[in-house]
Amino acid sequence: NVIDTKHSGIKIYNKVGLSTGFVSDVSYLVDTANNIEYIISGAILSKNKLTNENNYNDFGIPVLQKIGSYIYLNEVKRKKATN
């Protein structure tokens, strides 16, 4: 599942990097309704040395989206410490 930011009130600010064989992303996510806020970064190196944009869109970016969604959903479920 990919996070639906259009109707959820979640804001994600990110920068994607694409270079020969590498896909990287640094994101800042804010969800005020669930009191969630964090920064995450990730990078993937393909053994096959991705060389065109279609390969990045078919493999690297969807993988990073799924990882980000997994982390967000776990943050929603995680019990937060209270003061």
Please report the pLDDT score of residue 62 as a whole number.
82
- pTM here is 0.73
Q: Which of 63, 15, 13 is closest to 38 using CA atoms?
A: 13
Average pLDDT value for residue range 51-77: 79
Query: CB–CB of 22/49 below 8 Å?
Result: no
Q: Name the residue with tokens 């479920």.
A: 77
Please report the pLDDT score of residue 55 as a whole number.
64
